[in-house]
Amino acid sequence: MTICVLGLALSLPTVFHLLYKNAERVTGQWDGASEISLFLKKDMSEPRVQVLINKLALYNDIDSVTYISSHQALEEFKEMSSFSKALNYLDENPLPAVLVVVPTKEAMNSAGSKLLVAKLEREQGIDLVRVDVDWIEKLQAILTLMVDIVIAIAVLLLISVLLIVSNTIRLNILNQRDEIEVLKLVGATNSFIQLPYLYIGAWYGLLGGAVAWLLTFVMVTWLQDGVMSLMGLYQLQFKVSLLTFDEVVILLGVATFLAFIASYISVKQYLVKIEPK
């Protein structure tokens, strides 16, 4: 029961760590998928549009420029909406021509996009520059808050690991009080008597860490299909990342170390109080 409780306590911060790691990878893909839409003025002629496209192609932070005429925009809007019949009664096309700008990899972030937008807004013939970077910043702020929450929960759960192992070792010491008194009567030192309890505590931590890894693996594998379906809706190529070998070693090492420290504290506190009568 102690090992299972330790496994549950350690699995929660481990799952939160994986959640943050995968969420960070998703936001990285969203940063790379950002595009800038340049809505051109209605009275802009085709030759001026071509001159603007050639000028934008010289930008170091622009990877490609795609031109969508007002006629193409109207046809796409008809296909995507249910107002195709109503649009046929319009006297003129209300939609402007659009240039879709894809930044380079170096500019595919919030700061780079803002700098590029500032330069594009100064170009002649552009009526409106549109890029969805605000939601990326909000998402990054949420991730930062998530990190703080994960750290707080992890600290509380690691403290609970210390308390669980310490209390378990204390009960073992009290249950074996008679044997400890006999050992002290025949000359055993506290250092000699405490070794088995330290080993027991370390094994509790190691096995609890193994249970935590198993629970994390099962939980992430169970959620993987749902996550893949969700990412498919956003047309993102994404594979759920599991714990790496180094992360598993760190999990087992931290669990073993914490349990060893907890057992050491418990032994030092209660073993010295037991003296033969």
pLDDT in tens for each of the 277 residues of the chain? Answer: 889 989 988 888 888 888 878 777 766 655 544 678 888 888 788 888 888 888 888 888 888 888 888 777 777 766 666 665 666 656 666 678 888 888 887 766 667 777 888 888 888 888 888 876 666 667 677 778 878 888 888 888 888 888 999 988 888 888 888 888 888 888 888 788 888 889 999 999 999 999 999 998 888 888 777 666 666 655 556 677 788 899 899 999 999 999 999 999 888 888 777 777 6
In the numeric block, the tokens 């998703």 are attached to 26
Q: Which domains does the chain have, with CATH numbers?
A: 2-30+136-273 (no CATH), 35-131 (3.30.70.3040)
* C-alpha span between 6 and 3 (Å, rounded): 5
Element (H, E) at 124: none
With a threshold of 0.95, does the pTM exceed it?
no
Distances (CA, A) of 236 to 27, 136, 228: 11, 16, 9
